[in-house]
Amino acid sequence: MTKVLPVVLAGGSGTRLWPLSRELYPKQLLKLTGAQTMLQNTLQRLCGLDAAKPYLICNEDHRFIVAEQCRAIGMPWGAIVLEPAARNTAPAIALAALCAVQRDGDPTLLVLAADHHIADPEAFRRAVRMGAELANDDRLLTFGVVPRLPETGYGYIKSGAAVRGGAYEVAQFVEKPSLETAHRYLASGDYYWNSGMFMFRASTCLNELRLHRPDIYVACERAAREMSNDLDFQRPSAEFAKSPSESIDYAVMEKTTKSLVLPIDVGWSDVGSWKALWEVSPRDDADNHVRGDVVAIDTSGSLLVADSRLLAAVGLRDVMVVETADAVLVAQRDHAQDVKQIVERLRAMKRSEHQTHQRVYRPWGSYETVEHGDRFQVKRLTVNPGATLSLQMHHHRSEHWIVVQGTAKVTCGEAEFIVHENESTYIPIGSKHRLANPGKIPLQLIEVQVGSYLGEDDIVRFQDAYGRG
């Protein structure tokens, strides 16, 4: 098999899986279909292929979590490229292809979404091996999933004339159909679900993009040419934001004469909604998918997810109930696609629940807001072993830290000292301070903030190990 360079697109937001998936912690970073996150599952499927270290394309807010999830499964990466702005898949893939040409010659790219489910990884790897040979013929290959049912939530690809290796010329890309049309597609045997997975030589992709969408190509080429390094990450220049936002399907695949579709039957799902997750998940004798602390009586055909407390259900049919610490979703299962409207409404209301969880992740660990009022706020901080927060100060609040697990190394003004379990210290307003965990277990402490303004933007950083301004 030709050696391939995997490109994993990890910049999605997963709005239809709210309230578990949120802007700052979207579905690709969640454990939805097993013990590992969707991103980790995607990377693990590469094992057994003759593949180079993957490129990951993600946004600024997720960079430390993406890197940490790679480290957690021992997966080295070739590059983590940070998109300066969300611009859909065509610019993201162009950026990866340009980086690949600069660093690795002209490799064959295997483009994958970070948040898809594949039930048969070995069948997937067999398809990739076949696809690599087809992609070397100066073709743009897309993987078309053999449809199991008349799905209206996916786009379709109509196959044309057969070519070698079980692939077909692409006759047409079609939008998400009505149910009647989807039944017709399924009966014809000529249509496949558009999986959003691709293979092609980097140069072939770039040449076709330059031909059909030179505006996207020019913006991405400038951004890649001015790439800079930042710790573990590669930062394209702000020129990237000048690119139009468009999918690779619209920008290239629907216009090129070089596209092929390779049918695959690998148990694929984009897990694009709670209904889709219910369909690919194990279910009990009542056809319920249950996760967490759930008690269900006379309930069937439902998805019941408890994230932080007991969820009790009685007499429900074909519903979705998803509980988190700060939000609960209740909906009919056949309204799964409409959950994104909740996210849009929350955004319009300028609420925070569409963006963050009660637990907020940082490169050093995480924090949760336990209680808050007009002039006070109580948080629970978890600092990873060996991690250090920035040297900082606040103009509007003081802080009181109580260690409840582990050992804290504290800098306050000119003093540096250790705070043990069941001990505390006080940080006055305006004092330079820093918190670190010198131990081998997570440090947990309670932080009580008091002041006239308690926003996260009241932080002046003087030194930071994570490159934050």
pLDDT in tens, 423-463: 999 999 999 999 999 999 999 999 999 999 999 899 999 99
Question: What are the angstrom distances between the C-alpha of 149 and each of 51, 92, 235?
Answer: 33, 31, 42
- Predicted confidence at residue 88, as pLDDT, reads 95
> For 360-463, CATH number?
2.60.120.10
Query: Is there a contact between 304 and 318 (Cβ–Cβ < 8 Å)?
Result: no
Query: Is there a contact between 40 and 69 (Cβ–Cβ < 8 Å)?
Result: yes
Question: How far apart are alpha carbons 75 and 67 in whole angstroms?
Answer: 9
* Beta pairing partners, 123: none
Question: What are the angstrom distances between the C-alpha of 464 and each of 241, 388, 425, 461?
Answer: 27, 8, 22, 7
* Beta pairing partners, 320: 303, 331
Torsion sign across C-alpha atoms 342, 347, 350, 352: positive
- pLDDT tens series, the chain, 469 aa: 568 999 999 998 889 999 999 999 999 999 999 899 999 999 999 999 999 999 999 998 999 999 999 999 999 999 999 999 999 999 999 999 999 999 988 999 999 999 999 999 999 999 999 999 899 889 999 999 999 999 998 999 999 999 988 999 999 999 999 999 999 999 999 999 999 999 999 999 999 999 999 999 999 999 999 999 988 899 999 999 999 999 999 999 999 999 999 999 999 999 999 999 999 999 999 999 999 999 999 999 999 999 999 999 999 999 999 999 999 999 999 999 999 999 999 999 999 999 999 899 999 999 999 999 999 999 999 999 999 999 999 999 999 999 999 999 999 999 999 999 999 999 999 999 999 999 999 999 999 999 999 998 999 999 998 887 6
Question: Nearest-CA neighbor of 311 among 322, 300, 320?
Answer: 322
* Residue 303 buriedness (CB in 10 A; 0-12 / 13-18 / 19+): buried
Torsion sign across C-alpha atoms 440, 442, 446, 451: positive
- Predicted confidence at residue 2, as pLDDT, reads 65
Torsion sign across C-alpha atoms 13, 25, 11, 4: negative
The 8-class DSSP code of residue 203 comes to H
Candidates 3.90.870.10, 3.90.550.10, 3.30.465.10, 3.30.1540.20; CATH matching 4-269: 3.90.550.10
Residue ranges with strand state E in 177-265: 191-201, 228-230, 233-235, 259-264
User: Which two structure tokens, joined as six digits, stand for 74?
Assistant: 């021992």
Question: How far apart are alpha carbons 274 and 409 in whole angstroms?
Answer: 43
Q: Where in the chain is the domain with CATH 2.60.120.10?
A: 360-463
- Predicted confidence at residue 431, as pLDDT, reads 97
